[in-house]
Structure 1
Amino acid sequence: MSDPEPDVPETIATYLRLRGLEPTARRKRRARRQVDEDAQPFMPGRDPRGIDEVLGALTRDSGWNPHLAREDLVRRWDEVAGAETARHTHPVDLTDGTLTVKCDSTAWAKQLQLIRAHVLTEILRRFPDAGVDNLRFLGPDVPSWKWGTRAVQGRGPRDTYG
């Protein structure tokens, strides 16, 4: 029998000699662990984050930002258009980038047509994710004379006054 390797303890070498086995040198092999960069302490991004940052990341990753911006635009219409204007108007529809605003009177609709650029600029500044490209102002609903028992085919209301 050969002498045991120096790495093997004496007690184990004696046991192996008595059993008739030759002791082998033990080498400790450690499997290299994969280092997860996110799980290491003191790494960037490991600090606790605030609830606003977490919710902001959630809405951005989920694609909710445009929908939330549209809702904020409707809720804060008085800040965008002004308090006096907001008392006489309210947004009713947003389709294909066109925001439709219902007005109390045709005079309000005409005045808002004149300041359309200012209102649109304010919307784009405050709510860029809303997707508003154009504004449309409507006056109040007026009765239509095109339906009913006394409707006549032809030019419409202009014929009734003449």
Structure 2
Amino acid sequence: MPESPSPDEDRNEVTADEATEPDALALARDIADSYRGASTPPLRRRRKRPTKTGGRTNREDPVPVADIMGELVRDRGWDERLSVQRVFTDWPAVVGPDVAAHSTVEAFDDGILTVRADSTSWAKELQLLAPGLVRRLNAELGQNTVLRVDIRGPQAPSWKRGPRSVRDGRGPRDTYG
């Protein structure tokens, strides 16, 4: 009668059979590679380091928005216009908070800055300060950007139309009877 293998030998035979069978993880890798179309994993490409040549090296490289906006402003020729717009936004910094509280910038056309004061006394004060304002604005915005400052007083109401107007009258003097 043949001898039956001992339990230890039986265990060794099973492990020997398992050793010849492919590993489950290796089998999964082979299946995934076959779906990719290659039997070996794809090689990873090395990225070149971007070289600074002044512009963007690659459209996919991240660039700060401020740099892109700066390029756009320079390319379109908007540098001077934006510097002039600083007169409107930085008026309190140029003249000081007290004067800025009583005056507003209305327009800037052809080197002439138009400022409206809220009272006649502030309009006179700004007329006296006008040469200094021109020097200060030209120092901040660039030479010969502001040629002169036109100061206007408060705008009086017009009585030509409305409930207090009189047709064929002598003007505002006739409205009060």
Q: Same fold (TM over 0.5)?
A: yes
Q: Is 1:46 the counterpart of 2:62 in the alignment?
A: no
Q: Which runs of 5+ in 1 are unaligned?
A: 1-40
SS of the aligned residue for 2:99 comes to helix
TM (norm. structure 1) is 0.57
Q: Which has the higher contact order (CA 8 A, sep 6+)?
A: 1
SS of the aligned residue for 2:108 comes to strand
**1:7-22 → structure 2 map (5 Å cutoff):** none
Aligned-partner Cα distance in 1 for 2:167–2:128: 36
Match in the other structure for 1:3: none
Q: RMSD value over aligned CA atoms?
A: 3.5
SS of the aligned residue for 1:115 comes to helix
Identify if the C-alpha distance between structure 1 residues 48 and 60 changes in structure 2 by more than 3 Å, giving closer, same or farther: closer
Once the two structures are aligned, what percentage of the paired residues are identical? 37
TM (norm. structure 2) is 0.53
> Quick check: 143-152 or 133-142, which moved more?
143-152
Match in the other structure for 2:79: 65
CA apart distance, 1:96? 2.2
Match in the other structure for 2:5: none
Match in the other structure for 2:101: 87
User: Deviations 1:4-36 (Å, cap 9, x if unpaired)?
Assistant: xxxxxxxxxxxxxxxxxxxxxxxxxxxxxxxxx
Aligned-partner Cα distance in 2 for 1:87–1:140: 14
**1:4-153 → structure 2 map (5 Å cutoff):** 46=53, 55-128=69-142, 131-147=145-161, 150-151=165-166
Larger Rg: 2
User: Deviations 1:56-96 (Å, cap 9, x if unpaired)?
Assistant: 44422311112211222211101111111011111011122
Q: Which runs of 5+ in 2 are unaligned?
A: 1-49, 57-62
